[in-house]
A = this chain, B = another copy of it.
């Protein structure tokens, strides 16, 4: 893996940008995901990886442009700064959500046991586990080119479901993502055409509950870390 500072320098040179400061933190590097999934064709997986790479490259380019963009006359009606910040969030969310999605699918031996944190917390906050599941599926079906997500909400201090349109519309402030499902047409159209429901059920059967459990444990620690007082 090359250093972020080197990535940033290469982008700056290729765009002929001269930045006073190189924000190395805001550089994403492509991760590799093993996807032995059976619910997606090889063509979909390959194309999905290309899309992910495209978002990542866009995020890195925008990050470089933001390092040196003019901040002297920012206006809400339109300015390069405003446009770049919007696309920074859009592509950053796209990269993050795709990584979360790729990491929590493709478990051919998918299984959730009743003594897991995941099972207990989702049962607690949704009434019972089946209610979580049916609500999550509703979110998959409700999204317009977007995402379904189970997340820990630091405001309500509960686990909730939501859907996002595109990558950055309807995102709850203060969400810690736990389960992420891609509901863009690019995730299913090659293999399922308009049949989102079958796609959704097929994905649910391969949900990687070990990954989910790991995220849940972290979310519980986050909850504890925040509990000392009001945000």
Contact = CB atoms under 8 A, between A and B. Distances in A.
Interface of A: 20-21, 23, 25-26, 43, 47, 50-51, 54-55, 58, 61-62, 71, 74-97, 100, 103, 125, 127, 131, 134-135, 138-139, 141-145, 149, 154-158, 160, 162-166, 168-177, 184-186, 189-190, 193-194, 196, 214-215, 218, 221-222, 224-226, 228-231
A100 to B, nearest CB: 7
A154 to B, nearest CB: 7
Contacts of A23: 127
A172 B21 contact: no
A166 B138 CA distance: 20
Contact of A225 (B139, B164, B221): B221
B163 A85 contact: yes
28 contacts: A21-B127, A21-B131, A26-B160, A47-B194, A55-B77, A75-B141, A76-B141, A76-B143, A77-B91, A80-B80, A82-B142, A85-B142, A86-B170, A96-B155, A145-B166, A145-B184, A154-B176, A168-B170, A171-B171, A173-B177, A174-B175, A185-B189, A186-B194, A189-B189, A189-B190, A222-B222, A222-B225, A222-B226
A166 B94 CA distance: 17
Contact of A58 (B51, B77, B157): B77
Greatest chain B CB density within 10 A among A54, A88, A138 is at A138
Contacts of A141: 74-76
Contact of A156 (B26, B87, B158, B228): B26
Nearest to A228: B218
A153 to B, nearest CB: 8
A155 B99 CA distance: 10
A192 to B, nearest CB: 10
Contacts of A134: 71
A160 B26 CA distance: 10
